[in-house]
Structure 1
Amino acid sequence: MDNSKTVSTLNDLLNITNDRIQGFAKVEEKVWDSYSGLKNDYDQMVRESQTMKSDLMGLITERGGNPDDSSTTAGALHRTWIDIKNSFGGDHAESTLENVVFGEKAAIDAYQEALQSGDLCPQSTVVVADQLVKLRASYGKFETLERITE
């Protein structure tokens, strides 16, 4: 197994996990006035993202790589778009949570691609597959919100 492919793929997932963490920071407390039932699930997603980040960084280091602790360009553009939309005032609770759903979908897609690529070593495959299960579970909790707001 070529460690460079594994490290590169894990760094891509680390960047996406950083996108999630930075995106979660954009969710303002006022959102929970309208969606208080989702607050605990959201807090769990934030904690899981930090754990996922730590696990990915450990795998990268164990394989002789250097963790790329940045985010993606697409994620930065998306967060900027959110800031622009929110700058026009009004209640953005639905829009903000729709962005959480959008981000979770993107993360799931990236994790599925990583698993299907064949670029991960067996230990990394197990960790990434476990993280994908968590992503799907968190997405499932917020998916109903997306249906309601459409």
Structure 2
Amino acid sequence: MDSTKTVSVLNDLLNITNDRIQGFSKVEDKVWETHSPLKGDYDQMVRESQEMKADLIGLITERGGEPDDTSTAAGAIHRTWIDVKNAFTGDHTESTLENVVFGEKSAIAAYQEALQSDKLCPQSTVVVADQLEQLKSSYAKFQSLEKRVD
């Protein structure tokens, strides 16, 4: 197994995880003021994202790689779009949660693609598959939160 390819895929997933963390920070002010009972689920998702990030960095460094601890350009554009949209329409909880659901779907797709690429070593495949299950769980929770707000 070529560790360079594994490190590259893991760095892509690290960038996406950083997008999630930055995206979650945008949600906090918009949603939890009016839906404080939902904060526990949200806090758990943030903790899981931080753990996912640490796991990915560990895998990258174990394979002799340098972690690319940035976010993606697409994620930055998406967060900017959210800010612009909210500036014109007002900060609506529903649209904020819709954006989170969109981001989670994108992360799930990237993780699935990484697993199907055959570029991950066996240990990385196990970790990425576990993280994909966490993403799917997070996605389901946010869909649930979105429905409660409607």
SS in 1 for 2:32: helix
Residue type of the partner of 1:143? Q
Structure 2 distance, partners of 1:15, 1:33, is 29
Deviation at 1:142, TM superposition (A): 1.5
2:117 is matched with which residue?
Answer: 117
Task: Note if contact 1:24-1:46 (Cα within 8 Å) is conserved in structure 2.
Answer: yes
Change (3 A) 1:63 1:100: same
Structure 2 distance, partners of 1:17, 1:95, is 21
Structure 2 distance, partners of 1:143, 1:115, is 24
RMSD: 1.7
Deviation at 1:149, TM superposition (A): 7.1
Residue type of the partner of 2:109? D
Structure 2 distance, partners of 1:77, 1:107, is 15
2:12 is matched with which residue?
Answer: 12
Deviation at 1:31, TM superposition (A): 1.1
Does 1:88 find its partner at 2:91? no
2:138 is matched with which residue?
Answer: 138
Residue type of the partner of 2:92? H
1:2 is matched with which residue?
Answer: 2
Q: Which moved more, 1:92-101 or 1:26-35?
A: 26-35
Give the TM-score normalised by structure 2. 0.92
SS in 1 for 2:69: coil
Query: Following superposition of structure 1 onto structure 2, how do residues 56-135 of structure 1 map, counting pairs within 5 Å?
Result: 56-88=56-88, 90-135=90-135
1:55 is matched with which residue?
Answer: 55
Query: Following superposition of structure 1 onto structure 2, how do residues 10-49 of structure 1 map, counting pairs within 5 Å?
Result: 10-49=10-49
Number of residues of Structure 1 aligned to a counterpart in Structure 2: 150
Unaligned runs of 5+ in 1: none
Q: Which moved more, 1:5-14 or 1:38-47?
A: 38-47
Structure 2 distance, partners of 1:133, 1:28, is 23
Task: Note if contact 1:98-1:145 (Cα within 8 Å) is conserved in structure 2.
Answer: no
CA distances 1:37-72 after superposition (whole Å, capped 9, x unpaired): 432111111111011001000000000000000111
Task: Note if contact 2:31-2:93 (Cα within 8 Å) is conserved in structure 1.
Answer: yes
SS in 1 for 2:29: coil
Deviation at 1:114, TM superposition (A): 0.4
Unaligned runs of 5+ in 2: none
Task: Note if contact 2:30-2:96 (Cα within 8 Å) is conserved in structure 1.
Answer: no
